[in-house]
Amino acid sequence: MKKPILLLLAAIAIALTETACQRPASEADLATEEQAIRALNQVWFEAENTKDIEAIMSVLAEGIIWQEADRPQIEGLEAVRARYNDVLLPMFVSVSGGPTKIEVAASGDFAYDIGTSRTVFRTPDGTSTRDGRYFVIWKKIDGEWKAVAFTHALQ
């Protein structure tokens, strides 16, 4: 198993341990939290399309762990901001996608989201379309959902 996957699994285990002792949320509460995460996904994709770096940063936690296939892991908002500004946003023509599964912990303050993406990139020859898969770990921080870990791989 590759190191990035091990790091994500470790983060999930830690988060589950932290939330296991908390009061369970009702099914209605969990459904509401799932919808909130779906909405944040759309904010994130729309922000990438409009190249709104502040909107992108608004869904990320201060200490986010960011992993892309075949790239070194980066950590923290400023490192992710630099990655977007220097490489990602200039390359993006359009980005779409969304979650295929969202699981919210019984405590209602931890979740993960697995999804797919389709990105059209600028290339020297025009554009290239690539499908991808992503995994996000979400945590409620001061009452707001924030992405604390993100991994993405293009196919």
Q: Please list the rounded mean pLDDT of every run of 10 residues in the chain (155 residues).
A: 56 54 69 96 97 98 96 97 95 96 95 97 95 98 97 93
Q: Is 149 exposed, middle or buried (0-12, 13-18, 19+ CB in 10 A)?
A: buried
- Confidence (pLDDT) at 7: 58
Residue range 3-154, CATH number = 3.10.450.50
Using CA atoms, how far residue 127 sits from 13, 84, 133, 135, in Å, is 40, 18, 20, 25
- Confidence (pLDDT) at 135: 98
- Confidence (pLDDT) at 22: 54
Half-sphere exposure in the Cβ direction for 78 (13 Å, CA): 0
- Confidence (pLDDT) at 103: 97
Lookup: tokens for 66: 């960011």
Lookup: tokens for 105: 């912990």
- Confidence (pLDDT) at 127: 97
- pTM of the full predicted structure? 0.83
